Amino acid sequence: MTGASDFLKRIRQRWHPGDQRDAERAAHSVSDSSEDIERSARTTARAVCTLLETPNLTALNLGCGYGRVDKYIAPHVKTLYLVDVSENMLRLAKARLSEFKNVVFVQGDGQALSTIEDAQIDLVYTMFVLQHLPKEIAFRCLLEMNRVLKPDAKVLLQFPNAKSRFYREDFLYNAVFGEEDNPARVRSYFVEEVEWLVKTAGFDCAEVLEEGYDGKYFNRNEISVIGRKSGVVTLGQLRRHAADTREGLKRGEWS
């Protein structure tokens, strides 16, 4: 079995809720009530909808879960692609959004959006998903977002802020209890790192919000990024770049 398919199997095993309450617990603190979760979903959806600059647009959510926010976004777009690795999450999302005929459900392979053609999408949003992936795979997901987005289209990203107490404590817990084998453990990020990753994947950072802001998209522990596609960046281009610079390293050109 290859590393990639082994990883996919492990993340699918991690995300297999039985019902919506199970799925809510996967994405939220266990102390949050269903009403609180629903209220925060509506608030986030309103913020996402402010990014839809004209009517009749096509949006895509990478890692939709049970469709928590998507239920409130579907009425505002022409087509909504909901992508998730988990069959169970998609089953719950289908039930939750059954009234909408403009939603396309896609079971993803964890890193590519292979069924979606290039330059089709006006807005990609993803929340509480990239944080569960190894950073290399999260970066390849950014490249896929770049590929499927139209020129100048926007992306809304969430990353856990490594500077926040919440995520520092989370890291410490994982370190001392040996959680490094948990494939879905949270990987947190510093703002400078996020900006570099997002730019390298072909986006201008139109807006980067971290602690101290008014909670426009997510709560204060999160970094929110609104990126705008600035050009096409492909895996092939970056492979050539990486191979060339590795050769330069061997020749001592990096010192």
Nearer to ligand SAM by C-beta: 87 or 204? 87
**How close are the terminal C-alpha atoms of the chain, in Å?**
39
Residues written for the chain: 255
Using CB under 6 A, count the residues that bind ligand SAM: 22
Q: Segment 92-121, which members bind ligand SAM (CB under 6 A)?
A: 108, 110-111
Residues contacting residue 69 through CB under 8 Å, at least 6 positions apart = 41, 44, 45, 48, 61, 127
Nearer to ligand SAM by C-beta: 63 or 227? 63
Q: Does 202 bind ligand SAM (CB under 6 A)?
A: no
Nearer to ligand SAM by C-beta: 68 or 187? 68
Q: Does 128 bind ligand SAM (CB under 6 A)?
A: yes
Q: Does 83 bind ligand SAM (CB under 6 A)?
A: yes
Nearer to ligand SAM by C-beta: 62 or 233? 62
Q: Does 127 bind ligand SAM (CB under 6 A)?
A: yes
Cα distances (angstroms) measured from residue 107 to each of 110, 142, 144, 209: 9, 18, 15, 30
* Alpha-carbon gap, residue 248 to 28, rounded angstroms: 46
**Minimal CB distance residue for ligand SAM:** 65
Q: Which residue matches tokens 């590519």? A: 112
Listed residue (220, 225, 226, 224) closest to 167, CA to CA: 220
Nearer to ligand SAM by C-beta: 22 or 230? 22
Q: Does 164 bind ligand SAM (CB under 6 A)?
A: no
20, 51, 84, 210: which one binds ligand SAM (CB under 6 A): 84
Q: Does 133 bind ligand SAM (CB under 6 A)?
A: yes
Nearer to ligand SAM by C-beta: 65 or 160? 65
Q: Does 27 bind ligand SAM (CB under 6 A)?
A: yes
15, 72, 139, 189: which one binds ligand SAM (CB under 6 A): 15
Write out the residues near ligand SAM by the rule CB under 6 A: 11, 15, 26-27, 62-65, 68, 83-86, 89, 108, 110-111, 127-129, 132-133
